[in-house]
Amino acid sequence: MAGFNPFTEARFTFEGTRFDGAEIFMTLDVPLGEVLDYPDGAGIKLSDQWGWFQKHALISWNLEDRKGAAIPLHAPVEELPRALIVLVMNRWFETASSPSTPLVEPSRGGDS
């Protein structure tokens, strides 16, 4: 019997927003032990949350700077538009917490 890989990856797009054209691939299924390490609560900075997100959820993206150079996946939060960061994180949390959410194609479940 073949095994099942429960770690789903998804492609997020942002049509209808000012970030239309951005494509960000993320893993939806972060192990619970890593989710429990998410920085949350009073006094937590967006940069701390973004650092967790970069480490555990982001896979790739097509973001470029004003000169057309690729923005590295682990760029500091200070180099990215705040509105985009908040949108990406909110979209991920909404999708990752709802197992019945339809995924934007292509997304990958059990195949590598």
What local confidence, expressed as pLDDT, does residue 23 receive?
A: 96
List, for residues 47-61, the tens digit of each pLDDT value.
Answer: 999 999 999 999 999
Considering Cα of 16, then 95, then 92, then 42, what sign does the dihedral take?
A: positive
List, for residues 62-98, the tens digit of each pLDDT value.
Answer: 999 999 999 999 999 999 999 999 999 999 988 888 7
What distance in Å separates the CA atoms of residue 70 and residue 55, rounded to the nearest whole number? 19
Q: Is residue 82 part of a domain?
A: yes
Domain count, the chain: 1
Kindly compute the dihedral angle of the four CA atoms of residues 21, 6, 2, 107, in this order, to the nearest 10 degrees: -10
Q: Is residue 51 part of a domain?
A: yes
Q: Is residue 34 part of a domain?
A: yes
Give residue 43's domain range: 9-96
Q: Check if the beta carbon of residue 22 is closer than 8 Å to that of residue 63.
A: yes
Q: Is residue 111 part of a domain?
A: no
List, for residues 68-77, the tens digit of each pLDDT value.
Answer: 999 999 999 9
Q: Check if the beta carbon of residue 19 is closer than 8 Å to that of residue 84.
A: yes
**Among 112, 111, 95, 110, residue whose Cα is nearest residue 12:** 95
Q: Is residue 2 part of a domain?
A: no
Q: Is residue 25 part of a domain?
A: yes
Q: C-alpha 48: how far from its chain's center?
A: 15
Q: Is residue 112 part of a domain?
A: no
